[in-house]
Amino acid sequence: MRKLFRNEEGVSLLFEYILFSLICIGFFMIISVNADDIFMKNPNEVVMQDEMSDIGNMMSTMITDMYLILPENGEIATEYRIPAKAGREEYIIQASTDIYYEDQIIELISSSSGKEVRVTISGIATTILPIEGTALSSSTNHVISYDSRR
């Protein structure tokens, strides 16, 4: 028995085991506490930022393109398709009626997290046509329209 206590040959192995398991447990605890942030929220944020600015740019492009071919007497209406959700959240497209921006901005706002992306429409709103309206991403059809007689 004495011999067993004095024998220190296996100690480093035991310490290694204890240290490793402590480090692993610590790591696991940190990960499990932050898992939602790291694996869900951050990627979601990145995807939403990408997708919302993409759709904002799409709106801006379409409005500018329509502006180029507007009929003098007549109307033009175009349908567009957008995904109902960016990341995991629905969003609202808002042609800003804010005086401060003078209708030059298209805002995309997520209703649940409040994330907001703004895209400009290259100043065409100040020239002839004020742009207004809101669209919810999950509604069934989306239309941009212009009527010179209204």
Partner 1 sequence: MESMKKDTKAQWIALSGLVISLIIIGLAALANQAVIAGYHSSNAVLEFPKDNIRELNSHTRDSAMIIKDLSFEINSTSNETIPFIFEQLFDNYSTQMQALYAVHGETVDVSLVSINSTNGTFGINDIDLIFVNITYNDGRTHYISEPEIIEVR
- Which residues of this protein are in contact with partner 1, per CB under 8 A? 46-47, 50-51, 54-55, 57-58, 61-62, 65-66, 68-69, 71-80, 82
Nearest residue to 67 via CA among 119, 129, 115, 111: 129
Task: Provide the 10 A C-beta neighbour count for residue 137.
Answer: 20
CA atoms within 13 A on the CB side of 85: 7
Kind of pairing between the strands at 133-136 and 116-120: unpaired
Q: Measured from the CB atom, is 3 or 150 closer to partner 1? A: 150
Q: Measured from the CB atom, is 60 or 97 closer to partner 1? A: 60
Least gap, CB of 97 to partner 1 (angstroms)? 23
Q: Measured from the CB atom, is 3 or 79 closer to partner 1? A: 79
Q: Measured from the CB atom, is 26 or 83 closer to partner 1? A: 83
Kind of pairing between the strands at 133-136 and 105-110: unpaired
Burial of 128 (0-12, 13-18, 19+ CB in 10 A): exposed
Least gap, CB of 8 to partner 1 (angstroms)? 23
Least gap, CB of 83 to partner 1 (angstroms)? 8
Least gap, CB of 46 to partner 1 (angstroms)? 7
CA distance 111 to 90: 7
